[in-house]
Amino acid sequence: MDGQKQYTIQNEWIKWIEEAIDKELLNYYEYNDFRNFQEIGTGGFGKVYRANLKNLEKCFALKSFFNLNI
């Protein structure tokens, strides 16, 4: 895949995510909003962590993607 096509695809995904956040279909949290990180899995695209949102007792699964050039 050439660089321009990859850049276009990445921008389309970024735009899709930003629109979903604006429409409140997704919640956006900063990394610093979480505490008690525990790695619970690793896959081909990244790692999964268990963490607590500060001031809440709820557990969340957070996905951290590897920097892949696909």
28 falls within a domain: yes
70 falls within a domain: no
The 8-class DSSP code of residue 32 comes to: G
pTM beyond 0.85, yes or no: no
**Per-residue model confidence (pLDDT) at position 47:** 96
Does 63 count as an annotated binding residue? yes
- Structural domain including 13 reads 3-65
Cα separation of 54 and 34, whole Å?
Answer: 5
**Per-residue model confidence (pLDDT) at position 6:** 67
46 falls within a domain: yes
- pLDDT tens track for 6-30: 667 778 888 988 899 899 998 888 9
> Is it the case that residue 70 has pLDDT exceeding 60?
no
Number of domains composing the chain: 1
